[in-house]
Structure 1
Amino acid sequence: MRSLLAILLFAIPVAAAPAAAQNTYETDASHAVIMDFETGTVLFSKNGDEPMPPASMSKMMTVLMTLEAIESGSLSLDDELPVSEEAWRRGGAASGSSTMFLDVNSRARVEDLLRGVIIQSGNDACIVLAEAIGGSEAAFADMMTQRARELGLENAHFANSTGWPDPDHMVSAEDLARIAQILIRDHPDFYGIWAEREFTYNGIRQYNRNPLLGVFSGADGLKTGHTEDSGYGLVGSAERDGERRIIVFNGMDSNAARAAEAERMMRAALTDYGVYDLFAAGDTVEHEAEVFMGTASTVALRVDEDIAVGLHRRARRDMTVSVNYDGPVSAPIAEGDVIATLTVEAPGMEPQDFPLVAANDVPRKGLMGRIGAALVHMIRG
């Protein structure tokens, strides 16, 4: 028998929303994600876990690898790295791509190279860092992919340090959001660079391409991207009233469309979406599971992890939580056994399942007790 108990949560008086009101975000982007920074909860996703060509947004991973090298001591901000002919030819002024304008056979400080990547999106700066850390850009790309796996980024595969188009260079929007979360959370001493509006190197001033900076209050990062294959994309972050959101989108058809979508999506991220705490680790739910052949007829159900969900604020009033299990559950039951599932559902959100465990032991009945229970079961059918 399948047992289910539906519990309406947050049953508070709310004025009815107009019939046309949306409980989710709509965007022309081909891929998009809105993420809560603190919890990592994905609040909105459109093809968010689908690998896509990330263009220069993948340079966030190059920066992350560089910062980890600095913190490990294998690299210093004051180290001066050589600019190879390869870096100059494929990423410098001769390449016709985004560049820091490094001179061939010159040397550049790591601190300047970081700004060259973050602010100027310099392909030459990326290759110089890749060659210094990995020995070659190809080896560095393998290191990036390996590190991505260690971080749990299952849809990220890097073929280069720059985001230059390559069929093997693919990252999902959700993975880009998680890279942004790591950069903000784990490297706060460097995060301020992402908000710097300009950087001058080799006598050439270049401006940060992030359309949110100086336009959207609280915006302070992170990275744009554009190629013919990917369209125009952005990884952005902003904080207001103690809440930080990360947005990622790709596939817009123009720079102007990207700028408009960046502001619209970030406003929705901070205004229309919320994270709601449902249970704390150790809480028991209201419903108990029925037990067969046990010394007790029911067993309490407990959550062993904090449970929070993120969703559109208008969908909150229609959110339901249900307890599901195949029951009655046969004894013996040990405390901590997973015996049920907590399912959270709301309009515009994929159902989310969380395990429920037995809150206590339920031993099996003795022989006579089992015989009696079997007789009752037979009589009742």
Structure 2
Amino acid sequence: MKLLFRLLTLLFFTLTTLSANAQAPILTADAAILIDARTGQVLYEKNADKRESPASMTKMMTCILALERGNPLKTIAVSANAANVESTELCGGEWIRLGDLTYQMMLISDNGAATAIAEAIGGNVNHFASMMNEKARAIGAVGTHFVNANGMPDEDHYSTARDMAKIAQYGLRNKEFRQIVSTKSKQVHYERPSKNLPCTNTNHLLFTYDGAIGVKTGYTRAAQGCLAAAATRNGRTLIAVIMHAGWGSRFTEAAALLDHGFEMKK
């Protein structure tokens, strides 16, 4: 009888351990990480400290500084420099409030909007990049170095999956940040000339993944597909970061990582 009890006890703990350490998904991404947003506990990692190009995930930091250092009601005149950046809907001479510009940057990943925010808050892109780096160090993202506000390719512009997760985690503590990155679509209003620009979020998981609340996509030829994805289920929020993956597989692999995390026992 004692032997049977011991065998049953051993079986119970074996099954519990297997459940807690459910098989992690196989990822094609070059680097990835999954963390608990509340505690920062790492639930999965792959090359999490490898230096990678963050592409437009950079804009998470730009958004953080826009919210902490800027006035959303301030009207900004779009410079020719911002309007001439690759992949933007801006035109020189337009006037738009900082709050609307931040939505445009985060929802459709507008590179010119990020540049305009940098100029409005930092005076110029170089000084704003210094502000970004200072904030990154304060957050603990010590493997990161920014040279621009939008994530356009540059050898000196880099981060890691771990750092991107820390930046996303920090941002999600801000109510306004959470509101922006969870917005599926919005009509962004321009003051002069008066018009509305329809913006649909590039984060497909907001439309397809149960509990998705953000955060930011990224893609360049150098960086390939990147994604910082967050979701909340049963009061628990997880953050998955995918770097250097396929354009579409970044979404499926982030979803698989999140599923893996939610299936694990706390």
| TM-score bucket of the superposed structures, by smaller chain | 0.7 to 0.9
Q: Aligned partner of 2:167: which letter? A: I
Paired with 1:11 and 1:174, the residues of 2 have a C-alpha distance of 36
In 2: Cα distance, 1:60 partner to 1:53 partner: 14
Question: Residues of 1 paired with 2:145 and 2:10: CA distance?
Answer: 45
TM-score under structure 2 length normalisation: 0.87
- Report the CA distance shift for 1:39/1:89 in structure 2 as closer, same or farther (over 3 A): same
* Stretch of structure 1 that moved more, 192-201 or 219-228: 192-201
Determine whether 1:40 maps to 2:40: yes
1:78 CA displacement: 0.8
1:40 & 1:274 partners in 2: Cα distance? 16
Aligned position for 1:88: 83
Which runs of 5 or more residues in structure 1 are unaligned? Answer: 1-9, 70-74, 276-381
Residue in structure 1 matching 2:242, options 249, 267, 270: 249
Kindly provide the CA deviation profile for residues 6-26 of structure 1, in whole angstroms up to 9, marking residues without a partner as x. Answer: xxxx988235589xx964442
Deviation at 1:253, TM superposition (A): 2.1
Structure of greater Rg: 1
Q: Letter of the 1:265 partner, please give it.
A: L
Give the structure with the higher percent strand: 1
Residue of structure 2 in register with 1:149 after alignment: 137
SS at match of 1:155: coil
Question: Which of 194, 200, 204 is residue 181 of structure 2 equivalent to?
Answer: 194
Counterpart AA for 1:102: L
Residues 269/84 of structure 1: CA separation in 2 closer, same or farther (3 Å cut): same
CA distance in 2, matches of 1:209, 1:166: 23
Bigger RCO (CA 8 Å, 6+ sep): 2
Q: Which residue of 2 aligns with 1:183?
A: 171
Question: What is the percent sequence identity of the aligned residues?
Answer: 33
1:264 aligns with 2:256: yes
SS in 2 for 1:119: helix
- Of 219, 226, 229 in structure 2, the residue corresponding to residue 233 of structure 1 is 226
Q: Does 1:136 align with 2:154?
A: no
1:123 aligned residue: 111
What is the CA RMSD across the aligned residues, in angstroms? 2.1
- Corresponding residue pairs, total: 249
3-state SS in 2 of match to 1:214: helix
Q: Work out whether residues 25 and 44 of structure 1, in 8 Å CA contact, stay in contact via their aligned partners in 2.
A: no
- What letter matches 2:185 in structure 1? E
- TM-score computed with the length of structure 1 as normaliser: 0.62
Runs of 4+ in 1 over 6 A off after TM superposition: none
Where does residue 72 of structure 1 map in the other structure? none
- Paired with 1:254 and 1:126, the residues of 2 have a C-alpha distance of 22
Structure 2 gaps, min length 5: 1-8, 189-194
Deviation for aligned residue 1:63: 0.5
Distance 2:133 2:258 in 1: 29
